[in-house]
Amino acid sequence: MNREKKVIIKELTIEKFSQKGKAIAYDEKKNKIVITNAVIEDVILAELNKKKNKGIIKGRILEILKPSTYREDPKCKHFDICGGCIWQNIKYLYQLEQKQNFLIDTFQDFIKKTNVEMHPIIKSKNIFEYRNKMEFSFSQNRKKTKFLGLIMKGGRFVIDIQRCFLANIWFSKVLVEVKNWWEKYDFDAFNYYNGEGFLKNLTIKEGKNTQDKMVILTVSDSYTLNDEEKKDFIDHVLKSIIPDKKISIFFNTQISKKGVKTTFNLQKLYGNDFIKEDLNINALGKKIKLSFQIGPNSFFQPNTHMAEILYTTAINYLEKQDIKDKTALDLYSGTGTIAMILSKFVKKVLAIELSENACSMAKDNMKLNNIKNFEMINGDVSKILPTLLSNKNFEKPHIVVVDPPRSGLSDEAIENILKIYPEIIIYISCNINTQLDNIKVLTEKNYQLKVLHPIDQFPHTFHIENIAILKKT
Ligand SMILES: C[S@@+](CC[C@H](N)C(=O)[O-])C[C@H]1O[C@@H](n2cnc3c(N)ncnc32)[C@H](O)[C@@H]1O
């Protein structure tokens, strides 16, 4: 039977990257074509899917006819298929140039029409082994072959990872040893499509400034490990690291039932309840060292050294003399890292955070650092701000810092920030598009965008962290 061929072969030149880091080419009919692992200016022979998906044709490289001058050999042998990094085959300085260009494109109206200061992106202190946390997945195919690692590029399958260069080598050693442990048993990986199976994730964390280590095995409640299996798990983890280092090991059971809020049953198997991480901040002429306890469920910025630079850079836009008798508000504060740093420069800081767990961690960390001029409020920014504003004794803050999730600020949050009407708004964001939308609204209402200062926290990915400084007109 003469089957119709499902692919087309074409010579293409890569013209640009999308904001999601994908390499884009156009054919003679101006169809948009996305090519995995290609680099701007590559001339390639590509195999293209015949069918469009959401108006886009996908393809893969068959042969690089003329490699781009921006190309670099990836360090990682998993790069071709692993979804962990998409830009490891691009020279780092060119990755930065691309991120800077994304920001310039996004904020072009402000750049053309106002005198906003646009700063060059601050490069990451390390371009490999910069992450302090990784989450790996357990998975099995139909033949029950076991996989433990990261999700494939553009796919949903997990691939085995022997060495991931985004984190220190001990993360990979633990990963390989946990896979060896799994091979000894017939536990199934959890299947997210039918909700069956047992092993879900392996999360690994470290304090970059303390070398404390943590390993968390997350499972479903379809089974539980017996004491011998747990001991064997601990032995495998310990075998893979230098024994004199501090390590905590946790067994985390996720209990999910339809219509009921998911809960976790966390059991410590070994070591301390927390790891410690230090932040060294050198802002407004003052050197500050703060210590943080990080539990198995607490959020901490994933690139410690760049978090230090992010916070330092943002705070350096304040005037030390102007703020010492003033109050500050840290919205979407996580575990209160920014608030704790700010507390060293202002009279009082108030922080609002939705996660109960993050709030309780913040309170512990306040005690650990002996900080007394900081109050943490647990709740939704959109609901807490109106309550604060309705209180006659509420002292309107001089500074408002916002670091919202990717979705940005809600309309209610913006409305209430405008009612507070602070002198300065520091807007930190990991999504420059929602940041732009929010800034447009704020600048229509008596604020001026003064500064844009991007920071690279995640080399080899398209992600940008951006600080925007807004001041009252
Ligand atoms: C990007 S993180 C900020 C983390 C923190 N600023 C830091 O540097 O560690 C965003 C935080 O906003 C919190 N959040 C999300 N929606 C919220 C809401 N409606 N009200 C308050 N906090 C919220 C999340 O729980 C998360 O901790």
pLDDT digits (tens, 9 = 90+) for 315-373: 999 999 999 999 999 999 998 999 999 999 999 999 999 999 889 999 999 999 999 99
Q: What was the pLDDT predicted at 46?
A: 96
Task: Please determine, for residue 6, whether its predicted confidence score (pLDDT) is greater than 80.
Answer: no
Q: What was the pLDDT predicted at 298?
A: 83
Tell me how far CA of residue 268 lies from CA of 250, 253, 254, 265, in angstroms. 5, 11, 15, 10
Distance CA 409, CA 382 (A): 9
pLDDT tier, 5 (very low <50, low <70, confident <90, very high otherwise):
low
In the residue annotation, 76 being an active-site residue is answered as no
Domain check: are 244 and 295 in the same one? Answer: no
Nearest CA to ligand 1 atom 20: 380
Phi-psi sector, 438: left (phi>0), alpha (psi -120 to 50), beta: alpha
Q: How far is the CA of 341 from the centre of ligand 1 (A)?
A: 17
Model confidence pLDDT, tens digit, residues 187-218:
999 998 888 999 999 999 999 999 999 999 99
Residues with CB under 6 A from ligand 1: 299, 301, 332-335, 337-338, 352-355, 358, 380-382, 403-405
* Ligand 1 atom having least distance to the Cα of 380: 20
**145 domain-assigned:** yes
Domain check: are 252 and 168 in the same one? Answer: yes
**77 domain-assigned:** no
Largest CA distance in the chain: 83
CATH of the domain at 153: 2.40.50.1070
Domain check: are 214 and 186 in the same one? Answer: yes
To test the ligand 1 pocket, which listed residue (277, 331, 333) has its Cβ within 8 A of the most ligand atoms?
333
Task: Please determine, for residue 311, whether its predicted confidence score (pLDDT) is greater than 90.
Answer: yes
To test the ligand 1 pocket, which listed residue (294, 332, 357, 381) has its Cβ within 8 A of the most ligand atoms?
332
DSSP 3-state of 222 = coil
**81 domain-assigned:** no
Phi, psi of 211 (to 5 degrees): 65, 15
CATH of the domain at 15: 2.40.50.140
pLDDT tier, 154 (very low <50, low <70, confident <90, very high otherwise):
confident
Nearest CA to ligand 1 atom 26: 334
Domain enclosing residue 159, as ranges? 133-271
Phi, psi of 214 (to 5 degrees): -145, 140
Q: What was the pLDDT predicted at 243?
A: 67
**84 domain-assigned:** no
Model confidence pLDDT, tens digit, residues 123-151:
999 999 999 999 999 999 999 999 999 99
DSSP 71: B
Tokens of 252: 């985390």
Q: How far is the CA of 330 from the centre of ligand 1 (A)?
A: 10
Do the beta carbons of residue 103 and residue 184 sit within 8 Å?
no
459 vs 263, higher pLDDT? 459
Nearest CA to ligand 1 atom 19: 380
Instruction: Report the number of distinct structural domains present in the chain.
Output: 3
Tokens of 9: 């072969």
Model confidence pLDDT, tens digit, residues 76-100:
999 999 999 999 999 999 999 999 9
Domain check: are 323 and 236 in the same one? Answer: no
Catalytic one of 76, 82, 85, 430? 430
**88 domain-assigned:** no
Model confidence pLDDT, tens digit, residues 32-48:
999 999 999 999 999 99
